[in-house]
Amino acid sequence: MPSKLTALKAIVPAVLATSFAGTAFAQSNVTLFGAVDLAVAHGSGSVSNQTQLANGYLAASRLAFKGFEDLGDGLKAGFWLESGFNADTGSGQITNSNNQSSGIGGNGGLTFNRRSHVSLGGNWGEIRLGRDFVPQYLNIADFDPFDLSGSGGSQVLNSAITGPTLVRASNSVSYLYGHGFNAAAIGYGPGGFNGSGIQFHAMVYLGENPSGTATAKDGTGHGIRAVYSTGKFTVSGATSRTRYAAGEVRQSNAGASYNFGGAHVMGMVEWDRKGAISAKGWLAGALVPAGVGTIRVAYSRYGTDAAGSPTARKWSVGYVHPLSKRTALYTAAAHVSNEGASASALNGAVTAPGQSSNGFDFGVKHSF
């Protein structure tokens, strides 16, 4: 008897644990991931130069969690929490709570400023609620060989006039759909898309201000993006509007790329408006295999019709050398020429309006 009782005591907890895990956790999946990226960067300008240890010059340093639960019948629930941080100091980054300058905060602590959303998806698409990349930003990012990072990052982003909702929006509701690949891949990539086919992304976001005031609609807006891809050829267009009492912001762009195998060429065009000021920008670039690494080249331009007709032009060249699937060395050099009232400078340097600036970086990125 004692031996049977002892055996029973050992078996029952194991059975209960197995049953509990099977019902509560078997269909759940949570992933911790991120990157640490640091570079020595130098910038020179007509007023001052600077050398610094710079953060996120190949890919943003980040700590992220994502997960999903299979609900059955093709339905999934998921979440994505992603925090950007400054790897050179260990400090956190700011976020924005209402898509307005008054909503900027963070105080250097941990904030999920990059992405923070919950999702529900199936064959019909995916719905997201929270903070996420806006559709109109993705054309700037997807068609830049430098991924908008480091000395060579697109001038279309660096000089843009479109304000707090240029990259992300808080208090948003999004619908994403893709045909020709797994449309129910909860939280897959910035736009939730992967593979070839037709892709669609629509978002509305709220400024959450009290009604009955002149600024009641500030920070409220919407964006929409459509993509067609064959795998080698991709074309995409997006447009958006964000309301502010001082003057609404409109942003529209289009991009295309083709992968020849030996080279991946890409380009995009941007049309912006902020109140009475209009702007236009464009980029042309390429990724060229070089041994195990990749050469990156780009030319970008952005100008507005504001007083002084500020315009900035940038030439960029760089190289990425992978040491493994997770670790890479990289370098980039760029030159910005300014016209009119434009005073764009690189890597912390300061240059006078109409003067030029040069930048150089060398760094290492490790993903986990």
Domain-located, residue 301: yes
What are the backbone angles phi and psi of residue 17, rounded to the nearest 5°? -65, -40
Q: Is residue 1 part of a domain?
A: no
Q: Is residue 2 part of a domain?
A: no
> 89: domain CATH number?
2.40.160.10
Within a domain: residue 289?
A: yes
- Supply the DSSP symbol for 209: P
Residue 6 lies in a domain: no
Element (H, E) at 85: strand 75-86
Domain extent at residue 242: 48-367
| pLDDT single digits (tens) 162-179 | 999 999 999 999 999 986
Confidence at residue 5, expressed as pLDDT on a 0 to 100 scale: 40
* Structure tokens belonging to residue 233: 């050829």
Percent of the chain having pLDDT more than 90?
A: 83
Helical residues (DSSP H) of the chain, grouped into ranges: 2-24, 135-142, 155-158
pLDDT value at 313 more than 90: yes
Count: domains in the chain: 1
Rounded Cα distance, 150 and 139, in Å: 18
The whole-number average pLDDT for the span 315-326 is 98
Residue 176 lies in a domain: yes
Strand-pair category, 233-243 with 220-229: antiparallel
Give a yes or no: residue 272 inside a domain: yes
